[in-house]
Amino acid sequence: MSNVLNKQLTKKQAQLFDYLNKFEQKNNYSPALSNMADHFNVSIPTIHQHVDYLERKGYLIKEKGVKYSIKVLKRMSDIGSLPTQEKNISSIKHGELPINKIICGDAVKVMEKMPDNSIDLTVTSPPYDELRDYKGYSFDFENIAKQLFRVTKKGGIVVWVVGDKIKKGNKTLTSFKQALYFQQVGFNVHDVMIYRKKNTPFMRSNAYTNCFEFMFVLSKDSPKTFNPLKVKTVRQGKEMLPFNKGADGVNKKIMGELKPEKTMTNIWEYAVGYGGSTSDRLAFDHPAIFPEKLAEDHILSWTKEDDIIFDPMCGSGTTCKMATLNKRRYIGCDISQEYVELAKKRLKTVSNNFS
């Protein structure tokens, strides 16, 4: 019955479309973007993105520059009901790792089936946009944090990529609360890194444009692997360099070679959008992907070949794809069947000897 929606729309898009349908039926006009943003408690650009997608797929048309401009072209009842969550957690046996698989299910329930101390690295980004928590997709942060600590190997790492929403002009700081909770369950906050977006649209009229998210690097004990990524130094070649003082206490200088490279700083910059985050068009069926290079840089930094990389909220499968391309094993999980299908499709496009 929900065939069309299940194939074309993500759960969020279907929820928005359902809302538009009901609103229009009740009021005889469409809601403004700001009504929708308020209803789902998300930003207007997020709503824009979903409405544009619905228009491209032929679910509605909108007239540019007009406030109540949306006309829905289909009825929910014509094309199905909201997609339901199909779960395939039952395919995992207790105590076994679902290696090189994308599992559909709630992150906590999937982790509950996994053995203690079994994951080398998690690279993940939680839903911090409530459209994703709306109607049914519960997000049990505290149990996710506890389970992540249990399944992570001693010396393993969790990279938690997160930004803050603004509610009524006030930043939620959920990111900080989550970092503090991770400490409470036993992780060390090994580093607080910044994911800086090179290209970001102007968003607020009374504040500077936000261009970063946090990458909390959480370690269970001291990291067992660290392969520091390097960048070229600005100046290279030979130069007179300071030398240790001798017994006479005089500073000396000797001719020395400048270092050709140095360890990167903890602010990592990536272009976002098509050609930035990825050139893999498929990925953009998910509205909140992080850059492939971000996942890859963490994978290379904190793991070695054949290690196990996990993403409990894998969305379009970015972490799993980059694990595969870097000869690591992966486990992906997402609560949405649509995203699981998307991640599986994406994974099929990368060949490797490990899956």
Ligand X SMILES: C[S@@+](CC[C@H](N)C(=O)[O-])C[C@H]1O[C@@H](n2cnc3c(N)ncnc32)[C@H](O)[C@@H]1O
Q: Which residues lie near ligand X (CB under 6 A)?
A: 106-107, 125, 127, 132, 137-139, 286, 288-290, 312-316, 318, 333-336, 339
Closest to ligand X by CB, 125 vs 219, is: 125
Long-range contacts of 29-38, Cβ-Cβ distance < 8 Å, separation of 24 or more? 29/68, 30/68, 30/69, 30/70, 30/71, 30/72, 31/68, 31/70, 32/67, 32/68
Closest CB to ligand X among residues 307, 334: 334
Tell me how far, at minimum, the Cβ of 216 lies from ligand X, in Å: 15
CB 311 within 8 A of CB 103: no
CB of 98 to ligand X, least distance (A): 14
Spatial contact of 340 and 102, defined as CB atoms under 8 Å apart? yes
Phi, psi of 169, rounded to the nearest 5 degrees: 75, 10
Rounding to the nearest 10 degrees, give the CA dihedral for residues 181, 184, 186, 188. 70
- Closest approach, Cβ 304 to ligand X, in A, equals 23
Q: How far is the CB of 92 from ligand X (least distance, A)?
A: 14
190: phi then psi, degrees, rounded to nearest 5 = -65, -35
Q: How far is CA 38 from CA 34, 93, 165, 177, 264, in A?
A: 6, 42, 13, 24, 41
Nearer to ligand X (CB atom), residue 24 or residue 334: 334
Q: Which is nearer to ligand X, 30 or 152 (CB)?
A: 152
Closer to ligand X by Cβ: residue 33 or 289:
289
The minimum distance between CB 283 and ligand X, in angstroms, equals 7
Q: What tokens were used for 141?
A: 């942060």
CA 114 to chain centre: 22
**Residue with Cβ nearer ligand X (85 or 355):** 85
In the complex with ligand X, the residue whose CB is nearer, 70 or 333, is: 333
Query: For ligand X, which residue has the nearest CB?
Result: 315
Q: Which residues pair with 330 in a beta bridge?
A: 309
Minimum Å gap between C-beta 44 and ligand X is 19
CA 98 to chain centre: 21
The residue length of the chain stands at 355
Least Å distance between CB 32 and ligand X?
Answer: 26
